[in-house]
Structure 1
Amino acid sequence: MTRAAPPEELRILSPTAILGYGFPEASFATGLARDPHVIAVDAGSSDPGPYYLGAGEPFTDRAAVTRDLRLMLRAGRARRIPVIVGSAGGCGARPHLDITVAIVREIAAEEGLSFRLAVIAADIDRDALLAAQARGALVPLPPGPEATADDVRASTHLVAQMGAEPLVAALAAGADVIVAGRAYDPAVFAALPLAHGFDAGLAVHLGKILECAAIAAVPGSGGDCMLGTLRRDHFLVEPLAPERRCTVVSVAAHTLYEKSDPYRLPGPGGVLDLTATTFAQEDERTVRVAGSRMLTRPYTLKIEGAAPVGFRTVSIAGVRDPSFIAQVDTILDAARARVAANFAGTLAPESWQLLFRLYGRDGVMGTSEPLRTIATPHELGLIVEAVADTQAIADTIVSFARATLLHLGYPGRIATAGNLAFPYSPSDFHAGAVYRFSVYHLLTGIDDPCALFPITLEEVGARTVALARREQP
């Protein structure tokens, strides 16, 4: 039997920047009309912070994820092309993976779909990671600190960011649908090209652009579709909504996205080298990219873990008195001192933190804000925040700090009715559990890129029923 020649072109449809962010059905239909070879989507990010990993909760809405997945699965099965999801549930730990797989099964049952499902877990064993930390194989990602055994033990969930290799293995096993735990963002887009022997540099660079869907277009959108066409010596990217277009500037600018080095992007097993990359306008809406290459290096995996810190309560207020604004730092210092003095005999100092954020001056960048002293704003937004060992302590600290600031005297104060304006009643809100990134390090000494990522295969839907019937005596 003659083996089929590898394709000279692969078309990859990226519906949305993150599963659950949505996409127009018209754009998706335009992409399907281009006869894609795979539908792939990145479902996660560490951008929303450590809470979702620590709590095991998704940061996208279940109904929104179901809507996106339904369209993708129906289209994939109708065309007999793979559907690949990476970083399932947002963070890719076991709870997130289970939620996404449950949605896939529900859709299959409701739509009468059948397929071979591959589920790839990304959770890393705590004892194995402790052993790696002890032998110095868990190294910092600059400028982060050294890993400690206490940080590993404190983490509620620990995941390794898989490369494309486990996804390639799942495709080789005949998977029609792949739901993967935490994954390197470009991996879900590069997997099928790598399985067909396409250049790794071009495949990963294309994946880097497609993982954010139409954000690389003008006007950009994380909730619209992008098509990537990969050939042996270049690739093309184009948005699928007629009002958008890719330009050399928009695609090149997006290539710099989330990078500390404009020419080199490290990932599992290699560094994407862009020193010889070229960008050219193929037509009015399409950009051609060539010259990207992959430099091999010892295989490493990024490890992410989140540990609980305490509980948070917040209060939001506005300030408009120019005298208050002019001396706001002195006033906040006085409130801090008053809270500390009031609870000095009843609450341990290490059991709570009081934080203030000033929007309109430096609420976004804090002490890094370069414009904080250029002009005096006419109003400020003030967030009073407490993080404490218990929700009750956090409530107490915010309540007392808020009341203190409301009636605190200061030079130039005229009215005594209250210093703050509150947009809500009640004014204080429980924000619940607080987590920190306890592990954000590289695991070195990886000999087998697939060893930490077990693949489970199952027949879903009508194929499951048919198999069960065949097994009956």
Structure 2
Amino acid sequence: MSKTFKILSPTAILGYGFPEESFRKAMEESPDLIAVDAGSSDPGPHYLGAGKPFTDRTGVKRDLRYMITAGVKNNIPVVIGTAGGSGAAPHLEWCRQIILEIAAEEKLSFTMALIPADIDKKVVHQALDDGKIQSLDFVPELTHSIIDETTYIVAQMGIEPFQEALEAGAQVVLGGRAYDPACFAALPILKGFDEGLALHCGKILECAAIAATPGSGSDCAMGILDETGFTLKTFTEKRQFTETSAAAHTLYEKSDPYFLPGPGGVLNLRNCSFKDAGHGQVRVSGSRHEETPYTVKLEGARPVGYRTLTIAGTRDSIMIAGIDNILVEVRKSVEKNLSINPDDVKINFHLYGKNGVMGAMEPEPDTTSYELGILLDVVAPTQEIADSICSLARSTLLHYGYDGRIATAGNLAFPFSPSDIRVGLVYEFSIYHLMEYTPDIAFKFYLEKVTPEGVVA
């Protein structure tokens, strides 16, 4: 009988939740690893730039309570990647504090490894000077000034730091920003399972049951590795894996259907196959890992201004018909009245019901909506300037006398009062580049002995 390795992925991201029944059924199969990818850059740059989590603390603690309690009591390693959503130092500490609370409340003792992913700006400056940083597609070249303006810089770690922490005796591993499949694949690869199969399995499990049909990021999934492939399964009759769902999720967030790059290598899927294994399960085989020069992806965000916004709607067919020209004239009026330099301020109108999602890329030019939702979004150097511009733009649009207007009162309907919403500091992704791996950026872990009374020195 061939050896197997069972990986339980309870949820797509910590805090998204999972049914208790699914988790308990999965635990009945005695998994060899409980792992979760706790973050993503999908929610945008604010969370990395501000050092804030994008998932709710109560939800994260609920998920971790199940995972860590089951893992520690059953001697199953628990591995977490991209702690706190973005994986920088404040996110790692935020998640660490939650784990310490759980240990106290559940009377648990275990060894925990923490793996920071932060990269010193001096290292990035030097790498830029040495020509060891390259831009990804459609990303501007990196500059020293951008490095200085960036608040937190993290690098996506691969499997090696997780493996080192597990070999050192960690029962719970809390990692900073990580390559999504790494927290799932590190231990089975360490145990001798094929690297290509383990990484591909991790690629699918990173989003848990999203890869099933119907997909859900709030449900458990399991990958069972063996010597020649892996099998995917769920723990509820509501959803199942299919050949199509597993193959489709393999392509998720990838531009190439055959080659999926990661730290130190690429997954070659040219000979990969997906076969129905019955009972809502799918077997995957043929995935290969090929080594490449070792690079890590750097991520960082910098502040670019302050935001104020207003939400409004219109149901006037005359205004809707002429909305493009109306917004041009409103913008001109505001810029003139406040002597605004357009290069210093962004005034954006998002028209939901017309092109609010696609913007200028919207392929349907004609507006057939009988109503439009208008989101006025202003970003300026200070919050006060953003407030002033938003206020004037909102009132100008509210009373603008466009051609053919019949009403003499307001043009807009506001769902909220006050109408203007201060959002605060705005960030943009400033670093999204590949850097050659050197000893200067080695991901070094440290161990903590966690007890119900706290951390033992």
TM interval, short-chain normalised: over 0.9
Return the match for 1:414 from 396, 401, 406. Answer: 406
Assess if the C-alpha contact under 8 Å between 1:352 and 1:393 holds in 2: no
CA separation in 2, counterparts of 1:299 and 1:343? 52
Return the match for 2:349 from 344, 352, 356. Answer: 356
Q: CA deviation digits over 1:94-118, x for unaligned, max 9?
A: 0000000011111101111010000
Return the match for 2:154 from 138, 156, 159. Answer: 159
Assess if the C-alpha contact under 8 Å between 1:158 and 1:304 holds in 2: yes
Q: Secondary structure at the match of 2:170?
A: coil
Assess if the C-alpha contact under 8 Å between 2:105 and 2:452 holds in 1: no
CA separation in 1, counterparts of 2:255 and 2:202? 18
AA of the residue aligned to 1:453: F
* 2:434 equivalent to 1:442: yes
How do residues 48-127 of structure 1 correspond to structure 2 at under 5 angstroms?
Answer: 48-127=43-122
How do residues 341-420 of structure 1 correspond to structure 2 at under 5 angstroms?
Answer: 341-344=336-339, 348-373=341-366, 375-420=367-412
Q: Secondary structure at the match of 2:448?
A: strand
Assess if the C-alpha contact under 8 Å between 1:117 and 1:458 holds in 2: yes
Percent identical residues:
55
Assess if the C-alpha contact under 8 Å between 2:335 and 2:341 holds in 1: no
How do residues 24-43 of structure 1 correspond to structure 2 at under 5 angstroms?
Answer: 24-43=19-38
Distance 1:7 1:82, change over 3 A: farther
Q: Secondary structure at the match of 1:357?
A: strand
Alpha-carbon offset, residue 452 of structure 1? 2.4
How do residues 64-463 of structure 1 correspond to structure 2 at under 5 angstroms?
Answer: 64-344=59-339, 348-373=341-366, 375-444=367-436, 446-447=437-438, 451-461=441-451
CA separation in 2, counterparts of 1:398 and 1:202? 53
Alpha-carbon offset, residue 194 of structure 1? 1.0
AA of the residue aligned to 2:319: F
Return the match for 1:46 from 38, 41, 44. Answer: 41
Alpha-carbon offset, residue 376 of structure 1? 2.0
CA separation in 2, counterparts of 1:462 and 1:358? 53
The number of residues matched between the two structures is 457
Alpha-carbon offset, residue 463 of structure 1? 9.6
Alpha-carbon offset, residue 337 of structure 1? 0.2
Q: CA deviation digits over 1:61-115, x for unaligned, max 9?
A: 1111111101111100111010111000000000000000011111101111010
AA of the residue aligned to 1:284: H
Assess if the C-alpha contact under 8 Å between 1:124 and 1:452 holds in 2: no
Assess if the C-alpha contact under 8 Å between 1:115 and 1:463 holds in 2: no
Assess if the C-alpha contact under 8 Å between 1:228 and 1:238 holds in 2: yes
Normalising by structure 2, we get a TM-score of: 0.98
Normalising by structure 1, we get a TM-score of: 0.94
Assess if the C-alpha contact under 8 Å between 1:303 and 1:441 holds in 2: yes
CA separation in 2, counterparts of 1:182 and 1:45? 9
Q: CA deviation digits over 1:180-209, x for unaligned, max 9?
A: 000000000001111112111100000000
Q: Secondary structure at the match of 1:118?
A: strand
Alpha-carbon offset, residue 313 of structure 1? 0.3
Distance 1:267 1:386, change over 3 A: same
CA separation in 2, counterparts of 1:241 and 1:331? 53
- Deviating above 6 A after TM superposition, structure 1's stretches of 4 or more consecutive aligned residues are none
**395-404 vs 241-250, which deviates more?**
241-250
Gaps of 5+ in 2: none
Distance 1:274 1:313, change over 3 A: same
Give the match for residue 3 of structure 1.
Answer: none
Give the match for residue 471 of structure 1.
Answer: none
CA separation in 1, counterparts of 2:70 and 2:420? 46
AA of the residue aligned to 1:33: E
Alpha-carbon offset, residue 160 of structure 1? 0.4
Gaps of 5+ in 1: 1-5, 469-473
Distance 1:463 1:276, change over 3 A: farther
CA separation in 1, counterparts of 2:265 and 2:427? 31
Assess if the C-alpha contact under 8 Å between 2:87 and 2:154 holds in 1: yes
Assess if the C-alpha contact under 8 Å between 1:21 and 1:222 holds in 2: yes
How do residues 458-469 of structure 1 correspond to structure 2 at under 5 angstroms?
Answer: 458-461=448-451
CA separation in 1, counterparts of 2:34 and 2:279? 24
Q: Secondary structure at the match of 2:233?
A: strand
